[in-house]
A and B are shown apart, each in its own frame.
Chain A
Amino acid sequence: MEQVAIQAKGLSKWFGEGDARTNAVKSVDLVTYLGEIVYIVGPSGSGKTTLLSMLSGILRPNAGTVTLEGEEIWSMPNDKLADFRLKRIGFVFQDYHLFPRLTTAENVAIPLILRRTPWDEALREAEKYLDVVGLKSRAQLPPVKLSGGEQQRVAIARAMISQPDILIMDEPTASLDGDTGRSILSFVKANILNEKRCILVVTHDARINEFASRILTMEDGKLLASARRVE
């Protein structure tokens, strides 16, 4: 039986008030399961990123609930929610957001450092994860010395070092050429995805559809009913 990873009910978000009010996400219901890669696709301004932000615990919804493996995240106080994100959710940002003044290994170690892991131990662990993404030899280089694809792998290693249950990837192929993009998703599917993890991907890139378990389409803040499972 499939185990639920994220369950959202009646999730809504609007910005502004009165005439200036914009409804970004309109009463979305969503269920994702451990062991699947779920794509959220749709045109710009359709509310994908807003939905992803609410599902990952960084943007408070105006209405609705988000339950991650049985815990309603938006009822948590801020510090507990930050802890929850640190331990249970991994983020891969569109622009990677790696610190250019730190080494690659130090960048990867950041989540462990935030979890008060001793510095040297965190770096040793980071090197293990760099090994997993095939970049151990680049551990002491600053991220700016790496290619776009390599930086994306570093970002994935950073997201994975906390061994999160949920991996959030925001436009993971936006800055990459087609081949590199496909190789990244192929790598994620082969090495990162497992039966205890759910991966949520926001993307415009139809070239990587082959790696999705399900593709959910958003339009005007609503999830279209035509969400389909990819085989």
Chain B
Amino acid sequence: MSGILKLAFKLLVNDRAKFTGLLIGITFAVFLMIAMTSMFAGVLNRASSTVINIGAPIWVMDPSVNTVANTIGMPDYTLDAVRSMKGVDYAVPLFSGGALVRLTDGTYQSVNVIGLDDTSLFGRPQMETGNIENIYAENAFLVVHDSEFPKLNNPRIGTEFELNDHRGVIIGIAKVTTSALFGVPTLYTTYDRAIQYIPNPRYTISYILVRPKSAADVIQIQEQVRALGYLALTKEQFIHRISEFYTYQTALGLNIMLMTAISFIVGLSISGQTFYTFILENLEKFGALKAIGAKSRELVSMIVFQAGFTGLIGYGLGIGLCTCVVGLARLRIPDYASIITFLNLGFALSMVLVIAAISGYIGVRKVLRIEPFEIFRG
């Protein structure tokens, strides 16, 4: 570190009260910004849980579908049409719907039922306990071991329940990458059993899962599906569509953005004000440095260093604090949907740099304007 920056560093950190105030302001702002955006990222991730867990490369659906939870059934001939399209390696139906199950203690619990293609079981989850082939047994269901699992009274293999007066039996416990958003347990069964047990409208195929012969066939398949009057999206496009829906067509995105903006303003206010006071208190000293022979760019580098250093330390502390809080929250609240992504971190970093830049700019303006002559005048 050059002597001038070391001087700036000592001037900053030796004023412990101001330095602590600056750090608290930025740490608090970073904590709030990351907490808000990571919560949003967690919600979006869970909103796409079915898409992520099933993992099909292409999803065919009704064009009105915006989220995976609200499906619009497609007629059976659509499946045949898709299967006959150029570039399609194979295509299978998927059922996704809600139901009420009656547990052995007589209570009812909402569940999400996923019906996998009987032949291929394409999109099946990874088994934790039990054998996937048992899904072909009578009344067989798999239960997903996620944060909602206890709502089914922690079922084991052989646990029975009723679903629309049909008997159901747990034949295996599965695990998935992402828990669902809406707080209901997930059951897997075969497509035929799902449409047989759950009352349905005329059309029963929620989605058609497609595997293209090659990546180059994706666009061709999408065009053919569009000509049929339906929509084909890649897994990433579908996740993006769901994110767009929650961000722009519900109040969720706006509220999170408002909270993030408020966090930024709070951080900027505390840090900007404290840094400004710090500069004001040292203004005469900076003037004396100027008189002694410090060049303007050296004073600017000192202030930029002080603002940047405080910003980055506050950023690190904010991330640490947020990670601790998210970790603790997850221990106490298994459903807590919060994911700290690189995007969240990058966003918070850019906001911190803006806070540091604005605070620094205020300081630089003040210091550049001071005339060393004023120091003589006292």
Q: Do A and B come from one complex?
A: yes
Asked if B3 and A58 sit within 8 Å, CB to CB, the answer is no
- Report A4 CB to chain B, min CB distance, Å: 22
In whole angstroms, what is the CA distance A110 to B293 when docked?
10
**Which single member of A49, A87, A110 contacts B289 (CB below 8 Å)?**
A110
**Known interface pairs A49-B377, A85-B292. Does A106 touch B10 (Cβ–Cβ under 8 Å)?**
yes
Asked if A82 and B295 sit within 8 Å, CB to CB, the answer is yes
In whole angstroms, what is the CA distance A117 to B4 when docked?
10
Stretch at the interface among B67-75, B146-154, B220-228, B367-375: B367-375
In whole angstroms, what is the CA distance A106 to B375 when docked?
20
A187 proximal to B (CB < 8 A):
no
Asked if B291 and A101 sit within 8 Å, CB to CB, the answer is no
Asked if A58 and B291 sit within 8 Å, CB to CB, the answer is yes
Mask of A74-113 contacts with B, CB within 8 angstroms, 1/0: 0000110011111101010111010101100010001101
B-side contacts of A118, CB under 8 Å: 3
- Report A165 CB to chain B, min CB distance, Å: 14
- Report A82 CB to chain B, min CB distance, Å: 5
In whole angstroms, what is the CA distance A94 to B378 when docked?
7
Closest B residue to A53 by beta carbon equals B373
Asked if B294 and A114 sit within 8 Å, CB to CB, the answer is yes
A116 proximal to B (CB < 8 A):
yes
- Report B160 CB to chain A, min CB distance, Å: 74
B217 proximal to A (CB < 8 A):
no
B-side contacts of A86, CB under 8 Å: 292-294
Closest A residue to B281 by beta carbon equals A100
The A interface, classified by DSSP as helix, strand, loop or mixed, is helix
**Known interface pairs A53-B376, A97-B375, A119-B6. Does A114 touch B15 (Cβ–Cβ under 8 Å)?**
no
B285 proximal to A (CB < 8 A):
yes
**Known interface pairs A93-B375, A94-B378, A114-B289. Does A79 touch B11 (Cβ–Cβ under 8 Å)?**
no
Asked if A93 and B288 sit within 8 Å, CB to CB, the answer is yes
**Which single member of B14, B295, B373 contacts A58 (CB below 8 Å)?**
B373
B192 proximal to A (CB < 8 A):
no
In whole angstroms, what is the CA distance A156 to B342 when docked?
53
Asked if B15 and A101 sit within 8 Å, CB to CB, the answer is yes
Task: Offer 11 A-B interface pairs, CB within 8 angstroms, sorted by A.
Answer: A82-B295, A85-B291, A85-B293, A97-B288, A101-B15, A106-B7, A106-B10, A110-B289, A114-B289, A114-B293, A116-B3
Additional A-B contact list (13), CB under 8 Å, known A102-B7, A102-B11, A110-B7: A49-B376, A53-B373, A58-B290, A58-B376, A78-B295, A79-B295, A85-B292, A97-B287, A102-B10, A111-B292, A114-B3, A114-B4, A119-B3
- B→A interface (CB under 8 Å): 2-4, 6-7, 10-11, 14-15, 282, 284-285, 287-296, 298, 371-373, 375-378
